[in-house]
Structure 1
Amino acid sequence: MLSCFFTTFAHKMKKGLLYIVLTCLLSVVQLTAGAQGMGNADSIQISLLTCSPGKEVWAQYGHTAIRYYNKESGEDLAINYGIFSLDQSYFIPRFVLGMTDYRMGVQSMEQFLAQYEYEGRGVTEQVLNLSAKDKEAIYKALQENLKPENVVYRYNYFFDNCTTRARDIIVNHLHGKVVYPPADSDATFRSMLHKWNNEYKWTQFGEDLLLGVNADRKTTKSEQQFLPENLKNDFDKATYNGKPLVNETRELLSAKTDTVEPSFPLSPLAVAILFAVVSLVMMSFSYRRKQVYWVWDAALMITSGLLGIVFFIMIFSQHPCVSLNFILLFFNPLPLFFLYSTIRKKKVMWWKIWGILIILGLFGSLFQDIPQPILIVASFLLLHCILHIRIHKSVATASDSKR
C-alpha cells in the first residue's frame, strides 16, 4: 500500500509540471530584468496567495505562493517554493527519506490562475499592508533567492516547505514585529493533518503509519503555520507595527467542490476487523486441534517482515517526525530471520520475542497516537503469539506424561 501511495503521488505530480517549468523560465527573466530597482513603491503590491486543496493526495492540504504586482510596469508574478523535478534519480526513495530538493518557481499570475482554475481549486489573495522599505527588502530577498546557488532547497514537509518559505521571505524582511493570535495549545502535527484528510481514510491511515512519536508533541505557533490555511488565518488576524498586516482580502478564484470518492471500497478499520475475524477462526481451529498451521504463520511473518523493512528504513529518514515509531515493534524485519526455524523446526522462541515486542508497542501507544486498525491487528497478533506458546507447552506436557 505504501509503495502504491508514493507511486500515485509521483504520477499525479507529473500533471502540469512541464507547463509550470516552461512558464517559470520566461517569468524568471521578467523578475530578473527588474533587478536594478522596483520603481515607485506605491505602485507595488505584495500579497500572500493561498490555494485550496486539490483532489490529488499531494494537493490535499493546499498551497501557498507570493504575488508581486507592479501596477506601473505591469509585472504581475506568482512566486512559490513548491517546484521539483520527478526526473531526480531515485525520486520516491529520496522523498521517503526526506532527501527531496525543491526549488523556487516564478510564473505570471495569468498562467498561475489558469492552472488552478483548470484544477478546480480556489485562490485567495491577502494584500499586505507594507511600507516602501518593507517592499524593497522583500523584493531584494526574492532577487537573492533567484540566484543559482539559492534557488534550490532541501524540502521538509513540516519545517521547511512552500508555505513556511513564503512566510519567511515576507516576515523576515519586515522592519517591525508581526504579532499573531495565540497558538492552539493542543495542536499536534498529526491532529492538524487529521482536520484536512479526515475524508480520505486511506491517505490518513498511510500517513499515520509513517508518523511517529514526534508528530504527537504540542506545536508552536510557527510550527502550526506549515499548513497554508493556518498561515492564511494567522495573517488575517495578525498585526504589524500596531496595524493589521493584511490590507485587503480578495477571492481570485472560487473552489469547485466535488464529492470525495473512496479509493478503496473498504476502510482501514473494516480491513482490520476482517483480519480479526479470520484470526479468530484460525485460532479457534488451532486451539481445538492443539496444532498450528504453518501457512497462516508464514503469511503473518512474511507480511510483518516486509512491512517492518519499510518502518526500519524510516529510522534513517531526515524527516524528524518519522524516525521514532512504536509501530516498528508490531511490524519489523525480524520475522524474516526467524521464518525458517519457526515454520520448519516448530520452535516457539520467535512467538515469545514477538509477543514481548507487541506488548512494548501497545505500551508505546500511551505516547504515540497509533491508528485504531493497527491496534486491532497488533492485539490479535499478540493473541496468536500467546496461543502458540500455550499449544507448545500443552504438546510438551503431553509428551512428558507419555514417557
Structure 2
Amino acid sequence: MIFKTIFFRIFTIAFFLVLFHTHCIGKNISRNAEISLLTCSPGDELYSQFGHSAIRIKDAENNLDLVFGYGTFDFNTPNFYPKFARGKLDYMLSYTSFKHFKNEYIYEKRGIVEQKLNLDSIERQDLFSALLKNYQIENRYYRYDFLFDNCSTRIRDIVQANVKGEIVFNTIVSEPKSFWNLLDPFMEKSRWIFLGIHLALGIPCDIEATPYQYMFLPDNLMQAFEKATIHSNSTVKPLVKSNQIILKPAINFQKTTWYKRPAFLFGIVAIIGFFLSLFYLKKEKNFFIFDFFLFGICGLVGWLIIFLWFFTDHQATGPNWNIIWAFPLHFPIIFALLKKKSHLFVYYYLLLHSILLLMVLLFWKIIPQSFPNDILPIVALLLVRSLYIIKKLRTHF
C-alpha cells in the first residue's frame, strides 16, 4: 500500500512536470499574451491574514493560463516544524492553472483583483522567461522573510528587473508609518492573533518603513502598482493598463467579542489577583499558588521570546523588550518560592524586578518598542504580586 502511494505521488509529480515542460519551457509566449498582478484578499486562517500576491500569464494562442506565486512551501520538508519555527524553512516559487487558483479562492471565500501590466511584447517575454528560470529546481527555493522577502516583494523585484525602463512608484505618504502601523489593521479582527504577533515580533517592527518597503503587504503592492509609471527613452506610461475584480470577498469576518478579548480577560485576572493580595496580606497564609501560575506562564513566554530572538533567523523577532516583564527567570523562580532557603534570593530578585516593572508602567508610551495594551493588566498584576511576595518574605525575615 505504501509503495503504491509513493509510486502514485512520483507519477503525479512527473506528469505535471512533463506537462509544464511541454507547454512552457523553451516556448515563447505570443505577442498578444497578457501578464497580470493578482492580489488576493485576506483569509480567516493565520497564514492568510495579510493576503497574497501572484502573477498571471494568459496566452490564448498557446492555450496557456497559469498563475505563479512565491508564497508556497512543502509540508513534506524534513523537520518542517522546527525549520518553520526557527525561520529556516525555504519557501518556493510554484505554479498552478488559473482555473484551479480561482476555484481555491472561491472555496475560501476570498477576493481576487487583477491588474493587467502595461508591458510590451519583449518585456512580457522577458518576465515569463525569468519566471521559468526562477522555477528551475536550483532557483525556485528562497529563505522567506516576513517583512523583507516574501510573495509580494519577490513579484515587485522580478517585474522591476524585466522592464526596459525604470519603474517609478509614485506612492504618496501623508504621515510616517512603522511596520506595526501597516500590520495592525489586518489583525484588528482577532485580538488574540494581534497579541501573539505583537509578543513575538520586536523593535524592527517599530522602525519607520519607507514607501518602497510598504510593498511587503499585497494590498500595498497593488496600490503601488496602480500609481506607478514606467520611464523609458523620454516616454512615460502607467505600469497598469487596466484592472478588474475577478472575485469579491465573501468572508464575514467576526471580530473578537469584547468579553473574549485578552484585555478583558486579563483585566479580570488582574482584579482577582489584586483582591487576593489585599485579602492575604495580613494573614499567615501566603497563597503563592497564584504566583506559581502567573510567574510561570510569563516566564515561559520569556523563554519563547529568547528562542525567537537568539535562536532563529527571523529578522523581526529581536531585540524584543517584552522580555522585561516576561522575564525567563520567572519560571525557575516559582520553584524557589517553595524552598525557604531560597527566599533571600527571591526577595532581591523581585525587588529589582519591581523597579523595572514600575519603570515600564511609568514610561509605557515612550518605550522604543510599542507594547500591546492588552497586556497592561498583566504587567500591573506582576508588579502587585511582586510587592506582595516581597512583603510576605520580609515578614518571614
The TM-score, its normalising length taken from structure 1, stands at: 0.86
Distance 1:195 1:24, change over 3 A: farther
Matches within 5 A, 1:4-403: 26=16, 29-30=19-20, 33-41=23-31, 43-182=32-171, 184=173, 185-241=175-231, 242-260=236-254, 262=256, 266-289=260-283, 292-316=286-310, 317-345=312-340, 346-347=343-344, 348-359=347-358, 361-362=360-361, 363=363, 366-394=367-395, 396=397
Q: Distance in 2 between matches of 1:177 and 1:46?
A: 18
Q: Which moved more, 1:122-131 or 1:297-306?
A: 297-306
Asked if 2 retains the 8 angstrom alpha-carbon contact of 1:290 and 1:395, the reply is no
Indicate the SS of the match to 1:247.
Answer: strand
Can you list the C-alpha shifts for 1:91-137, whole angstroms capped at 9, x where unaligned? 33322321121111111111111111121111111000012221122
Q: Which moved more, 1:218-227 or 1:26-35?
A: 26-35
Q: CA deviation at 1:25?
A: 6.7
Q: Distance in 2 between matches of 1:313 and 1:370?
A: 19
Can you list the C-alpha shifts for 1:181-207, whole angstroms capped at 9, x where unaligned? 235342222121111111111111111
Residue type of the partner of 2:320?
A: N
Q: Distance in 1 between matches of 2:29 and 2:378?
A: 64
Can you list the C-alpha shifts for 1:312-339, whole angstroms capped at 9, x where unaligned? 1011222211121111111122123333
Asked if 1 retains the 8 angstrom alpha-carbon contact of 2:259 and 2:265, the reply is no
Q: CA deviation at 1:29?
A: 3.7
Q: Which residue of structure 1 aligns with residue 3 of structure 2?
A: none
Q: Distance in 2 between matches of 1:364 and 1:29?
A: 59
Q: Distance in 1 between matches of 2:17 and 2:105?
A: 18
Distance 1:142 1:261, change over 3 A: same
Distance 1:257 1:24, change over 3 A: farther
Q: Distance in 2 between matches of 1:58 and 1:158?
A: 14
Q: CA deviation at 1:237?
A: 1.0
Q: Distance in 1 between matches of 2:205 and 2:132?
A: 35
The number of residues matched between the two structures is: 377
Q: Distance in 2 between matches of 1:59 and 1:24?
A: 29
Q: Distance in 1 between matches of 2:258 and 2:315?
A: 30
Asked if 1 retains the 8 angstrom alpha-carbon contact of 2:297 and 2:331, the reply is no
Asked if 1 retains the 8 angstrom alpha-carbon contact of 2:39 and 2:218, the reply is yes
Q: Distance in 1 between matches of 2:335 and 2:176?
A: 47
Q: CA deviation at 1:290?
A: 6.6
Q: Distance in 2 between matches of 1:258 and 1:335?
A: 41
Residue type of the partner of 2:150?
A: N
Asked if 2 retains the 8 angstrom alpha-carbon contact of 1:301 and 1:336, the reply is yes
Distance 1:307 1:264, change over 3 A: farther
Distance 1:265 1:379, change over 3 A: closer
Indicate the SS of the match to 1:252.
Answer: strand
Q: CA deviation at 1:259?
A: 4.0
Q: Distance in 1 between matches of 2:364 and 2:22?
A: 53
* Identity across matched positions, percent: 29
Query: What is the RMSD of the two structures over their aligned residues, measured on CA atoms?
Result: 2.6
Q: CA deviation at 1:310?
A: 0.8
Distance 1:176 1:292, change over 3 A: same
Q: CA deviation at 1:263?
A: 8.6
Q: CA deviation at 1:26?
A: 2.5
Distance 1:116 1:318, change over 3 A: same
Asked if 2 retains the 8 angstrom alpha-carbon contact of 1:27 and 1:106, the reply is no
Q: Which moved more, 1:203-212 or 1:364-373?
A: 364-373
Indicate the SS of the match to 1:337.
Answer: helix
Q: Distance in 2 between matches of 1:340 and 1:245?
A: 63
Indicate the SS of the match to 2:93.
Answer: strand
Q: Distance in 1 between matches of 2:305 and 2:157?
A: 33
Indicate the SS of the match to 2:20.
Answer: helix
Q: Which residue of structure 1 aligns with residue 6 of structure 2?
A: none
Indicate the SS of the match to 2:171.
Answer: coil
Indicate the SS of the match to 1:76.
Answer: strand
Indicate the SS of the match to 1:105.
Answer: strand
Indicate the SS of the match to 1:214.
Answer: helix
Q: Distance in 2 between matches of 1:309 and 1:69?
A: 49
Residue type of the partner of 1:327?
A: N
Indicate the SS of the match to 2:177.
Answer: coil
Q: Distance in 2 between matches of 1:350 and 1:33?
A: 68
Can you list the C-alpha shifts for 1:142-167, whole angstroms capped at 9, x where unaligned? 12101111011111111111111122
Q: CA deviation at 1:270?
A: 0.7
